[in-house]
Amino acid sequence: MAVRLGYVAMSVMLSNASPSQTMTVKQFEQISNREAAIRKLERIARSNIENCLRLLKHNKAHDITFFRLSSKLVPLADHPLTEGWRYEKALADSLKELGEFIRQEKMRVDFHPDHFVVLNSSSMDVHKQSTKSLIPHLKWLKGMGIDPMHRCVLHIGGKKQGKESGLEQFIENFGLIPSSLQKMVMIENDDVSYTVEDALYLGEKLNVPVVFDLHHYDVNHESLELLALWNRVVQTWNQSPLPVKMHISSPKEGENDRRHHDFIDAERFYRFLTLIDGSVPHLDVMIEAKQKDAALLQLMKDLMSFKGIDVTSQASFTFSS
């Protein structure tokens, strides 16, 4: 099994390279000339995209070809104040350059929109805003020349009306969004409300890939039959052009802590790899640790002492138990 590691949005090793610089609504409103405010947004966005390219070049130097892009690349892209702003046109050259590098280096990139982007709300206002928030991700991917299919990970959402109602509301609302957005979506199990079983219920019903989060499973699951669940997760990726992906993080304090540690517990990850060995030929693993790229490189070092790990680059290895 070939395993490739990635990390999230920001580097702790590269200085002054934030891809998430922003402008608040208040700052936008304080600029009396709306056109000048829009131009400033474009300057910030262009700087974010340039920093993103710097990050990817840094990743290349460390053989990292899996990366989560920031959902804050273009500030206020989905806000009513910027209605009618053709940011994808204004930033076309920058997005194209970024996309060319990603394709040239055969990198896998995707997004994980903010937690308020949910598809199971009974509020039509929330649903409309969530839909509106997904649209920029589609435009960015198209501007980069990247196939948008299965590029946005979403949590299922809240369960104010109960879990069953939340799942059925997701199905109903999913049918209301454009097919172009449906194709972008992947579903992740969370650490409080919706388990892997819940994500699989939706993934199997809607033909949407399930992104398995190991830490979330450890602190929130109903079944101990992890291998059986994993095999079902793998099946949800059958129609995807991309390899199966999962998330790993480690509890900050104590095994049931939902907060993320700075680094990854290599022993827990290794036990999981041993369990699933042979189930997939290729696995992409997104690290959600506070120390970002430093955590990825540290995990590679830690894994070297385990049996069956054959390092193939600074950020990948093959595993056979």
pLDDT, tens only, 58-102: 999 999 999 999 999 999 999 999 999 999 999 999 999 999 999
b/e code 177-190 from CB counts within 10 Å (16+ = b): beeebbebbbbbbb
| pLDDT, averaged across the chain | 96
Rounded to whole angstroms, the Cα distance separating 286 from 246 reads 6
Structure tokens at 204: 């199997």
Q: Is 289 left (phi over 0), alpha (psi -120 to 50) or beta?
A: beta
Q: What is the pLDDT of residue 149?
A: 98
- Asked if 46 and 107 touch (Cβ cutoff 8 Å), the reply is no
**What is the greatest pairwise CA distance in the chain?**
64
The string of DSSP codes covering 246-292 is EEE--BSSSTT--SBPSS--HHHHHHHHHHHTTS-SEEEEEE--TTH
81: DSSP letter: G
Q: For the chain, how are helix, strand and coil distributed in percent, rounded to 5?
A: 45, 15, 40
User: In tens digits, what is the pLDDT along the chain, a chain of 321 residues?
Assistant: 999 999 999 999 999 999 999 999 999 999 999 999 999 999 999 999 999 999 999 999 999 999 999 999 999 999 999 999 999 999 999 999 999 999 999 999 999 999 889 999 999 999 999 999 999 999 999 999 999 999 999 999 988 888 999 999 999 999 999 999 999 999 999 999 999 999 999 999 999 999 999 999 999 998 779 999 999 999 999 999 999 999 999 999 878 888 889 999 999 999 999 999 999 999 999 999 999 999 999 999 999 999 999 999 999 999 998
Which domains does the chain show, CATH number per domain?
2-319 (3.20.20.150)
Specify the length of the chain in residues.
321
